[in-house]
Every structure is written in structure tokens, then in C-alpha cells.
A and B are shown apart, each in its own frame.
Chain A
Amino acid sequence: MKRLITLCIGVIAAALIAACGSGASSGGSEKAGTTDPAKVKGDVRLIMEEVPDTDVIKSMLPAFKKKYPNVNVKIEAMPYDQMRDRIVSSFLASKPTYDLIIVDNPWMYDFAQGKFLEPLDKRIAASKGYDQSDFSEPLRNIANVKGKTYGVPFYNYGLSLVYRKDLYRQAGLQPPKTLGELKTAADKLNTGGRSGIAMQPQKGYKIFEEWANYLFAAGGSIQDSSGKVTLDSPEARKALQAYIDVYKSDAPKNSLNWAFDESIRSVSSDKSAQMISYNWTLPNVNKEGKLKGKFDIARVPGGKAVLGAWYWGLPANSATKDAAWSFVNWVTSKQQEKQRVIAGGAPVRNSALDDPQVWKKGFGKPYYQTVKGILGDSAPLANGPHAEEMINVVGEQLNAAVAGQKSVDEAISTAAKKAQETLDK
């Protein structure tokens, strides 16, 4: 019996090694799709996240169907964590489960490097009116892995300062341009019943995403142009100290595990005066209730913001690459981008951000121009292999420093060391 089991395991293992080895072969071929919409055929199984931006895409499907009658886009929407697990499983499976996926920016490098994504340069070159330069450079850079493009921007989640216009006015304040001004503003707005600023110091992604804006404002950086970690710097120490100071004096009490959800609830229920958060939260907090219309966004102090974005990506093992690309090409075209933004999607194309019609039907010129500024001067948290893990190891050290378990100095040097180790793995 025992020998039989051992044998079985051996056979299974051997079969698996063989299976894993053969998965890579389909990656290389790349050709431009046909131009006649009626000739493109296929069922495109598309995995997306259960978020409002996905609902916007769903609402656009009938228009796409009119243009491409023979392409069926089937959207499967699910929660974030389920999504990643399923995408990865689809990559590993002998036959794909998805023909088109959306890629979060920390995954981009690993997915491209693992040859799971199809390079899109030729398809982009063959697409009329695609106009690469219409996407801000930081957005383009994320999709560029070792000189090849693996994704087309879908929507952004760049960070901004979401603040209460009325409170700023009453206090005679201007949106802060430096970390010092941010602290002053938060101190001033910190009254008995209302915290000066809601923060999200939760361990991992959240605290790093927020703190990196402080880092940029202090003149620091996460990686240099060659990808080497540059976190171990006086600027990083200064930024972390500033973050801790703001947290200690102006953030809600005992909010060490807060993430996005708690902050936005706090701000929209008048319990905090501002927060550093995604630019697209503005329409949501402004929408209803007694605080309706009282919020505005500004660039984060120092100007340069943390950039997050989702991309359309074509799996290397996609069964209907041409049909999938036809959808990507259509939905990211200037014209459809405009429709998408008007319908409430978070913008990625500058042409849409500059469009008076978008301003009018949307949330006004200042909002879109601020977003354009954010996208133009921003950087992601990590660039290179193991981005997700790198973000997590840094986020753990930052959180430990805010909790007082580690000194600022110790947290920064450990974070830098561990981040570099992660990249080198």
C-alpha cells in the first residue's frame, strides 16, 4: 500500500513537471488583428473586479456589440482576492479560463516576466488613433516591462488630498503644499469632535500607499531608475517622522488598523476633516447627505503622488486574442474613453480630462484638471519583480514604527534592506 502511494505521487509529480514545462510555448506569436469589425469573431471570457468601474464597462457592452456583432464579451466579476487567485490558476491551467484579464499594477512585472501576458506593441502600432502619448507617462511606464508594453490603462487610482472646502475656508487655509503645511492644517482642523485628518496606517499595502506620498513630498524615492531600492535615506526618515507626528496629533484615536473603508466613513460622517485617498472618491463623498458638495480634491503635498492603476492585459494562453484585443482597442479608444468617463469611470486618457463635454456632464473642469496633474506627476509603489511582496515588507516596518514597536531609524533601514532582498529573490 505504502509503495503504491509513493508510486502514485511520483507519477503525478512527473506529469506535473511535464505539464508545467509545456505551458510556455504559446507566448511568442503576435500579430495585428483584422480591421473589419464584422470579421472578428469569438467569445471573450473577461475577468473583472466587482467595482463600479466594472459596472460602467458592463453598461458599454451593447454599444460594442453593435460595432462588433460577432464578438461576445462575457464578464465575470468577483472580489479582488478571488480574482487574483483565479487569474493565476488560469495561467497555470492547460487551457485558459480567461481570454482577457485586467491587471493591477503590482502584478504587471511578474505576469510579464512569467510570460503569462502577450506583448501588445505590434497591436498598438497597428491600431489607428491609439495615440500612446494621450496616456500620461507614469501610466505608460507601469505597463512597460523591459522595453515591451504588456497592458493598456483601464482606470487610475492615483492619490490626492480629499478635504473639506468649508472647513478650510473657515480656518483661512489653503490646500497644503508641503508636509509642514499639511501638519499645520491638520492641527488647526483638529477640534474636539472632529479629527484633523483620517489616516490608513493598516499594515501592508495601505500604510505604504499613504506614507509614500509623504516620502515623495520630503524629496525621497523608493527605487532609482535602475530599480535599486533607495529607501534608506534621511528623506525617508524625515517622512516617516512627519507621518507619525501627524498620526499622533491629528488622526482619530486608536486608528492603527484603519484602511480605506474606515477613513472614508470617518470623513463622510463629519468625524474627520480630510484624508489622503484616491481621486475618484470625491464624487462619492460629495454625492449625498448633509456634507453634499462640501469636499474638494487637491494634489498631495509636494505634488508628486502615488499612482495606482488597472490595465487591460491579454493572457498569452488566451483562446481568442484577436477578439479580445478588438474589445480592448475599442473600449480604450479616445471616443469610448470619453463615454466611459462621462458614465463615471475613473479616467486615464488626457484627451478625456481636457474635454469640455466631460467637464460639463461630469464633475467640472477643476476636478479633471487636478486629476490630470496627478497622473502626470506620480509614481507607483514598486517597479520590478515581487512588487506585491516588496510593498508588504515595507508596509510591515512602517506600521511597526507607527505602533511604536520600532524606532523610525530601525524601521526605515530594515524596510530598505528587506525590500532589496525581496527584489533580488
Chain B
Amino acid sequence: MKKKLILAGTVLMGAGLALAGCGDSSKTSDGKTKIEMVQYKPEAVKAFEKMEEKFNETHDDIELTIESPNEAMTILKTRFIKEDQPDIIGIGGDVNYSNFLDSDMLMDISDFDGLKDIKQSYLDIDKNLEFIPEDGTYAVPYVANAAGILYNKEMFEENGWEIPTTWDEFIELLDTIQASGQLPLYFGFKDTWTCLAPWNAMACDLSPADVCQQVNKGTTTFSEEYRELADKIIQLLPYAQNDPYAFSYNDACTAFARGESAMYCIGSYAVPQILSVNPDMQIDSFVFPANDNADKQVLNSGVDLQFSVMKDCKNKEAAYEVLQFMLEDENIQIYLDEQNAVPCKEGDFELPSMLDGVKEYIENDKMTDYQDHHYPSEMAVDAMIQTYLMDGNADSFLAKFDKDWIRYNRDLIRKVQKYEEEHGEGGNES
């Protein structure tokens, strides 16, 4: 028996040692400043690995680690709960950014030099994401994406289909494609977030860009602003494969890559995944023509990746150095080559060819941010849209939208209204 106990003890001690060996060491090891960055796009892991390696080769005093975990937002939030924050986070310009900023977790980086080279329109998009206007700047927009409709160039050329510019033309095109015995659209609605792709793209054409802010101020309702959008989005279903709720985003990308559908309503962020299935595919895109008036179509574009320095970061200079490095033209190019994105920095970058069809909108700044960047994630608007697409009841969907909006945003609405009041009475304090 004793032998067994000794054995058990040894096993335990060994395990204890093994565990102690990998305890997290503090900020510096062998004199270097450690900078840890977590970025939320696992599909871009290769680009970031390259940058990480390059950075560490050229910097003796800073050791940079970049993590690109799957389900990064959950991991990030779990780490916030743990109060174990990285130095820099790379996230999207969406409601999470608004929340982190509102919770006072991000550092004001207005003194960061690199901001001068960032296009104003993207800084404005970030400004609009602030729940209540803040002083200072809290994020460096890095790359943007665009969402609309991706189409299979070969199929379009073979059949002589033309790019639609209005809703009627679009429906006509869908009918033509279907009549030819081919599948016009493919959806991956098993992953609920993909329901937001057509929703956002159409919302740009059909609803005011600041609809959420307007609702928060109490000047309008979603039932009013989203009615046409709800009526139109459901008309797309007959043109897609049967049972779109059985297939995931991955399945849809694969199907589109294999030519099973002529078009795919998704953002430019899906292109690398599609090309991984079919590297020779010719893809181009056009703006979702949801409006009846061709001049009123607006490109859906938002900040896909931006960097923020956490307030708790102890080495601001080192963090800035990392950001500066990321913004060097050749490093942005590393990212662009991997990910087909639109850079937020001024300069002569070549836009990926699959954005040819929407170039004009980008150059003329006819762009609106994703509406869902303003939706609170716990409200699960994606699942609400999925529910609506399945049951087709627009009235109850819109009524629920308005009701839930107030329920999930009431602290925010109170804050905004309080701010407006103070702002109105006390003049501008800034």
C-alpha cells in the first residue's frame, strides 16, 4: 500500500512541477518588453504570424505575441472577466467596440502619430459607434470590408446576365437565372449570423444610416424604418437552395465556390474561404440593389479590423511601436495579400479584383456602416431575422424588434437621454 501512496505522491508532485513550469511570467523576461495582442479574425492567422515573426526579427527590445483564437470575442470577454487583459486588441468596428469603450477599457490614443494617415471616413465610422460622444480617439481602423453580392463571373459571362442596378432588375435577374435551370443564390443560414449579410446590405439602401440612434432618441421606430427591408428580404428565399437553414457558412462558401449558385450574398471577407475551395474562381461583386432608384444604392462597408490599446497596458510606447509597424505599407500589404480587404490607410494600395464592381462607391465614399454594428449582441438580432425568414410573420418580427430593443438598450437609452439633457442645458463642456 505504501508503495502505491508513494507512487501517487510522485505523480502529483510531477504534475505540480509541470504545471508550475508554465505559469504566466510577468511583463518582462530577459529584459524585453512583452506586448500581447489578441485579434479576432482566425482566418487571418497566417498574415499575423508573418507580421509577428517580422516584428520580432527587427525589434530587440520588444517581444510581440499575436494570438488569433477561434471564437475570439468569447475568449476576450472571458479574459476581461478574468481581468487578464492583453495589451492590444484587434477587433471589428462593431457593438463590442462600443461596449468596451463605454466600459472605459480602452486607452485614448489621440497622440498616436499613425492616426494622421488614416482616411477620415473610417475615423468617422468609429466616432459613430460611440454610445455617447467621447473625447479622444480609441481605435486605429486597419482594414475595411464591403458586403453586397458576390457573383460568379464566368457564369455571368457565359449566360450574358447583366449587373442589376435596381430592385426590379435584381428580381428579374433572379427569375432569369432560375428559369435557366440554375440556382441564383445560396444561403448558409444554419449559422445565424449569415442572415445579417443580406439584411445589412439591403438596410444601407432602404433605411437611414443612423436609425438606431434615432430610435434611441425616440424619434422613430424600427417597425417604420425596417418594414420595406423585411418585406424585401423574404422575397429572396425562393431563389435559394431548399432548406437554407440546414447549411452553414462553410457549406455555402463551398457551394458557391463549386459553381452551385450564380451569386452569394455575403461580404468580401468570405472571398479567401471561397478561393481556398476553388483557387481559380473568377469572383466579382456588385452593390446590393435593394432600392428602386439606382442612384440611391449605397455600398455596405465597415471597419473589419481595428486596433485598440487597452487602458491597463503598461507599455504605451511599445504598444505604439507595434501599431506603427502594423501600419507600414509593406505590412499592410502582407495582410491585403492574404485577406482581400480594403485598407483604411491613405496610400496607393491595389484593391483586390473582386471589389472591381464596387470600386466606384469606395472611391466616391458612397458607403454606410453595417447596421448590426449597432445591435447589442445579446439581443441576437441574427436569430430574430432567421426566425422571421422561417415563419414569414413581418408584423410580429418588427413588433418584437421594437420591444426587445428597448428591453436590451434601456440603460443605454437612459444614458443617451441624460447626456442629451445635460448637453442641452449646460452647453458644451468640452
Do the two chains belong together in a single complex? Answer: no
B residues with a Cβ closer than 8 A to A are none
